[in-house]
Structure 1
Amino acid sequence: MRKDITIARVSWGVRDITRMILLTAIIPMGIFLLLVGLSHFGLLPSAVRDTIKHNDFVVNLGFSILVSVTEIALVFWLVRKYNLKLSDIGLQKFSIFKAVGYILAGLIIFMIFIAIVFAIVSVLVPAIDVNQAQDVGFEFGKKGVGFWFSFAATVILAPIVEEIYFRGLILPALSKRYGWLWGVLGSSAFFAVLHFQLNVIIYTFILGLILSFFFIRLKSIIPGIVLHMINNTFAFIVLAGLIK
């Protein structure tokens, strides 16, 4: 794998991304627990209390968006701290013709790898249900406002934020400190474990490897964002029950 990205320009380090990861976990959970506590003691409007208590869709979607907003805020913090340009975090020009080829090939290779790995896991670790539907924490609606909020959060917001966060910032920092192999493996592992469910962790780890490869070869995270959006679109269609 070529070292095409100049790591000398990576001014942030492992300490910075460690703080980012910890704060990404602490801030949303802290806000969520605060709201639950305020609701429990009747310190929030009744409409808000009823929503927290009875509307799992709004609560879980809101928490998902809160995590993304936290990630965005931390990205801006790091950008301002080191006066980074967009190109420093992978948002730069790329060959469209080359990227289309990578995306098409990436989709095919990804599907083949998933099929092979899941087949092996099914034999070696039958306790893991590789066909288990992903539990995203909220029900996708088939129409109305809920559908479009879910679509925006899953297909548009998540790929952009996650690619900047994991490939644009975490991958270069780990690679600068430990080398590209551990950078790719480490950033893909962080990306995967945040999805919690075992079969989804395996799936997203492999996806993370391919997205990291895209960044290294194409020197831009934008093609990876496109591939990530395509993947999430397929997932959304299945989870929303648009196809049986």
Structure 2
Amino acid sequence: MSNLNPFKILSNLENQKSEAKKLSITDAVVAAISYILISWFTLGIGFSVIRSFSNSILQLLLSIFAVGVTFFAVTAVFYAYYITNLGKDKIKIRLVKKFTLINALLLVLIVLGYLMFFDSLLMPIDKILPGFISVTESIQLINKNSIFFIGYLCIIGPLLTEFVFRGIIIGGLSKKYSSLKTILVSSLLFGISTFNPAGFICAFLLGILLGYLYIKTHSLYLCIIGDILYSATTSILLQYYPQFLLLISSNTLIIVLLTIIGLLIIYFGMKKLSSNIENQYKTNIDLNRR
């Protein structure tokens, strides 16, 4: 049963004690569909039951239970079908510490740069697409339930999407296809999984950013934290500060400046982050030779 510990499964992928099995594009599509069906089924049943109770405390407890069941179900199924545990002879003796304080700070800068780029240049486009109102209404509804907002939207949701779309799908596709094709396919599936034109643009571009981050760092933890930072910040802005988004997207000069600054921050942040991890790998190789 300990093998089905969701946090252990994530940890083993991060520390390269296990790896995703090689996937074809068809396999990746099946994996994405499986994730959608499992999460929709468990959450759908859970919240249909929750709505039948009027007691707020009971609703809170059932919400936590539904989120927990979804987390366990997704990780257990994907562990069984898409993950291979490495033998002791293949596990690296010295682990590369990818999730460090400096790397976390660089990640914050990268997400900030992406927010500047997306919110100034693409949010105005996103707003006119079908489905944008439903996205904002869903966020407002979720935010009314603080446990669900914090527990699923800002923690469990990013954990699962990064585990599936980066850890499993990118990890599996990268064994058969080029990095570019791998990132594009996983990002496309990530965007389609929203079933929303407005949500597609956001998820697709975020998928490209996080996919590139995973290819360069092989760190599931960094992708998870990046997703959490983006999801939480965007939800808060849409819920409480929509006038700020309106302001930065209403002036052409501001749009140009923020777009350029955002892209530069992403570029230099990603370059420094990749360099840090590459240097750590080189240090470990030198230590292992001694």
Task: Give the TM-score band, short-chain normalised.
Answer: 0.5 to 0.7
1:73, 1:138 → 2: CA distance? 31
Distance 1:212 1:35 in 2: 31
Structure 1, residues 22-63: CA drift from partner, whole Å, max 9, x if none?
333444556688899xx9xxxxxxxx59719xxxx9999988
Q: Which residue does 1:3 correspond to in 2?
A: none
Same amino acid, percent of matched pairs:
20
**TM alignment of 1:192-211, pairs within 5 A:** 192-211=191-210
Q: Secondary structure at the match of 1:82?
A: strand
Distance of aligned partners of 1:214 and 1:103 in 2 relative to their CA distance in 1, 3 Å threshold? farther
The total of aligned residue pairs comes to 213
Hey, what does 1:94 align to over in structure 2?
98
Counterpart secondary structure, 1:139: helix
Give the corresponding residue for 2:266. none
Q: TM-score w.r.t. structure 2 length?
A: 0.57
Equivalent positions of 1:1-244 (< 5 A) are: 11-14=21-24, 17-27=28-38, 48=49, 51=52, 68-78=71-81, 82-84=84-86, 93-94=97-98, 96=100, 97-118=102-123, 121=125, 128=129, 132=133, 133-136=135-138, 139-142=141-144, 146-238=145-237, 241-243=239-241
Q: Please state how far the C-alpha of 1:116 moved relative to its aligned partner.
A: 2.7
What SS does structure 1 have at the residue aligned with 2:190? helix
| SS, match of residue 128 in structure 1 | coil
**8 Å CA contact 1:166, 1:187 repeated in 2:** yes
**Structure ranking higher in helix proportion:** 2
Unaligned ranges ≥5, structure 1? 1-5, 40-47
1:99·1:223 contact (CA, 8 Å) conserved in 2? Answer: yes
> Residue 28 of structure 1 contacts residue 63 of structure 1 at CA under 8 Å; is this kept in 2?
no
RMSD: 4.2
The TM-score normalised by the length of structure 1 is 0.66
Q: 8 Å contact 2:31–2:169 — kept in the other structure?
A: no
Partner secondary structure for residue 170 of structure 1: helix
SS of residue in 2 equivalent to 1:199: helix
State the Cα distance separating 1:65 from its structure 2 match. Answer: 6.7
| Paired AA for residue 23 in structure 2 | G
